[in-house]
Chain A
Amino acid sequence: MNAWIWGIVGILLTPVVAGLVGGIDRVITAKMQGRMGPPVLQPFYDVMKLFSKQNLVLNRFHHDLVICSLIFTVAAVGLLFAGENLLMCIFALVVGNVFLVLAAYSTNSPYSMLGADRELLQMLAAEPMILLAAVGIYMATGTFDINLIASGTHSAIQYLPGVFFGLIYVLTIKLRKSPFDLSTSHHAHQELVKGLSTEFAGPSLALFEIIHWYETVFVMALIYLFFASRPIVGIVAVLIVYFLEILIDNINARVKWDLMLASAWVITLIFGLGNLMLLFILK
């Protein structure tokens, strides 16, 4: 029963927190670029406006697939907060992502299709590391159960510095920030226009934004799990990591997909797998 309440609280709180974080992100980014930036509540204004716009639905599946994606992503975050199995949460998130790709494929626009191609490549680059992180947490704490991880007495970070670094590296992919914002990005200027989200308009795009909020909170929660035994250290670590991501976003150009895939896998292999093997040998 308790788990249910936690799950629902998580689902309800996520948009609020993620929207605020998004707003602060935009202000800091603007500051870094020498600008003033929008109000902190700007992401909420954007989403509310998008809901009030006309929805240009291209075919029968288009909007429904986005809704499916939302359901699975929300479920992933709900399960995470309910303290269920970590692996299940990650798979729910991946399924949600796949539905988004399907929605993009269902349209006939070349930008959207290429964006979907790239989104799949991004998943190929990022998911191994996220899975390794889950495995690493299992090896460090002896369980996949989030409740037990969170109530454990020691943090996973002391066993898993390499995995943690690898996770930060692929985080730019999940947060859709430079240098790895290949499939779609918050700024317009790129060769695919908006890539994955080119064909979404109005409410569909609003759902897309909300999905992104849930994803952000999910990966941030994953970072937190590394410090689960000390909540305050965990929250500070999450904030530092997020700031680091903004900084990386602003000091890098967008790279090409081959470099992204190669470097993400090399980092995953060396830091992720290397860390796990060391842990396996030493334990």
Chain B
Amino acid sequence: MSDILKMFTTVIKSLFKKSTCRQYPFKKPVFFDRTKGHIQIDRERCILCSLCDKRCPTGAINVDRNARTWAINSYKCILCFRCVEVCPVTCLAMQQQYSAPEEIKKSEVVEIPAKAEKAKA
């Protein structure tokens, strides 16, 4: 008879306990230090070496030296960390906040200021 009541205690306990629900989006999501969210670039430090472009396994990063832009397509990015590892000036970093869903796929384009402007700044 007691065989059919094995789940009884667990069920009754959780009925009276507060739910473990994280209540997203009403409460802020829980992140850890190492949580992988999205890649962010420090545009002041980037030297447009395009190593990240070459090493990205999915081709999500696009560096255009002539137009001085660095673009990432977050719909291709697999958060593998590779670009952060290869960046010679460590201008790329992993941020905890994940990129948001959108109705159209578009790349996020960052303009890299020229050296002269950097010096001025």
Contact = CB atoms under 8 A, between A and B. Distances in A.
Interface residues of A, number: 11
A34 B4 contact: no
B8 interface: yes
Contacts of A35: 19, 21
Contact of A34 (B7, B8, B14, B23): B14
A239 to B, nearest CB: 15
B104 interface: no
A31 B14 CA distance: 6
Contacts of A247: 8, 11-12
Interface residues of B, number: 14
A252 interface: yes
B8 A251 contact: yes
Interface in B1-27: 4-8, 11-12, 14-15, 17, 19-21, 23
A147 interface: no
B14 A32 contact: yes
B100 to A, nearest CB: 24
A229 interface: no
A251 B5 contact: yes
Interface of A: 28, 31-36, 247, 250-252
Given A251-B8, A252-B7, 15 more contacts: A32-B11, A32-B12, A32-B14, A33-B11, A33-B14, A34-B20, A35-B19, A36-B21, A247-B8, A247-B11, A250-B11, A251-B5, A251-B6, A251-B7, A251-B11
